[in-house]
Amino acid sequence: MTERIQLQATVPPELDNDRLDQVAARLFPDYSRSRLQGWIKKGDLLVDGKQLRPRDKVHGGAELSIDTEPEQAVGWQPQDIDLDILYEDEHILVLNKPAGLVVHPAAGHADGTLVNALLAHAPEMAQLPRGGIVHRLDMETSGIMVAAKSLLAHQDLVAQLQERTVKREYVAVCIGVMTGGGTVDEPIGRHPKQRKKMAVLAVGGKPAITHYRVTRRFGHHTQVAVNLETGRTHQIRVHMAHKHYPLVGDPTYGGRPKIPKGASDELIAALRGFPRQALHARALGLFHPESGEPVHFECPLPEDMQALLSVLEREDPVINNDATLY
């Protein structure tokens, strides 16, 4: 029997007297506006137990409730794509995403995505919002992700992400030698002129907090461990570039490869030839949606980042090293 979608939310004071469809989009961000409007019109989304029109105004303190059958993700087809699964049960699936794999279909990537692979592996995920995806990694970022396999898990994981109880640690290789770690607390939004980029914005950005610590210093580069409090698009890449330590292999935010003076041919080839941003999601901690118990998962650095760090160790000598290589 298919699980029903049953959700509730209270209209906060700041949304008082706003349109129902706009309020619903704010309170249930994991569902598209068109789907929410359809539920409003069908009477599956009620306000204090009553059916309203999408344009009707709602007041602070009102209770929104949804009780409906899930719909299959339209246009997303199962595809036989290999998955590196680290853990799986009836509620969650934890995997190691390779660099180059898009998370879900979008403009320019109609198929061949992680979602297409998940739907082939577990067809029941087609009944979940976004095919079970609750967070993303950039196409060229590798590493650990969790996906929901049940509606209970999806709702619980989304809540954990909103409450910032999900712990995510990344490994990044940055250009430049950092003197120490720190925190970047700068809002991020769409770049005002280059719409495919994100940027730190003094006005109009969403809160974004990144913690980083040095794990290995080289002559002209630094390996860092990064922990996220928030999950904005391109957050680590934008924040590290904002601190003037862009990631190796990231032309979007770092420009052309920075070649140290007197670099060997091997180091030049490694820096110019690294095909993506040097960023890997190494570890993930969360509370299991069913048991409530804390669980922790890790995945090793991919071969391309291991090779890059090996070259840096030989050709860009380590200085003041105070941690071991992951």
- Rounded Cα distance between 56 and 79, Å, is 42
- The catalytic residue positions are 138
CATH 3.30.2350.10 correct for 85-163 = yes
- Cα separation, 142 vs 137, in Å, equals 7
What pLDDT, on the 0 to 100 scale, is given for residue 110? Answer: 78
Q: What are the φ and ψ backbone dihedral angles of 294, each rounded to 5 degrees?
A: -70, 135
Query: Where do the structural domains in the chain lie, given as residue ranges?
Result: 5-68, 85-163, 167-315
As a whole number of angstroms, the distance between CA 240 and CA 221 comes to 13
At residue 2, the pLDDT reads: 52
Q: What is the pTM of this model?
A: 0.79
CA dist 131 and 122 (Å) reads 10
Please state which CATH number belongs to domain 5-68: 3.10.290.10
pLDDT score recorded for residue 326: 35
- Distance of alpha carbon 267 from alpha carbon 307, whole angstroms: 11
Q: What is the pLDDT of residue 5?
A: 82
Domains 5-68 and 85-163 share a fold: no
Question: Span 167-315: which CATH code?
Answer: 3.30.2350.10
For the segment 262-288, what is each residue's pLDDT rounded down to a tens digit?
Answer: 999 999 999 999 999 999 999 999 999
Quote the pLDDT of residue 322. Answer: 46
Q: Which has the closest alpha carbon to 56: 68, 67, 45?
A: 45
Q: Are 120 and 78 in contact (CB under 8 A)?
A: yes
> Residue 55 class from Cβ within 10 Å (0-12 exposed, 13-18 middle, 19+ buried)?
exposed
With beta carbons less than 8 A apart as the criterion, state whether 143 and 281 touch: yes
Angle at 201 between CA 196 and CA 206, to 5 degrees: 85
- The reported pLDDT for the residue numbered 317 is 75
Three-state SS at 236:
helix
Please state whether beta strands 142-148 and 279-287 pair in parallel, antiparallel, or not at all (unpaired): parallel
CA nearest neighbour of 138 among 300, 278, 257? 278
**Do residues 214 and 181 make contact, with C-beta atoms less than 8 angstroms apart?**
yes
Residues of the chain with pLDDT under 50: 1, 74, 320-326
Q: What is the pLDDT of residues 91-117, one digit of tens each?
A: 999 999 999 999 988 767 778 999 999
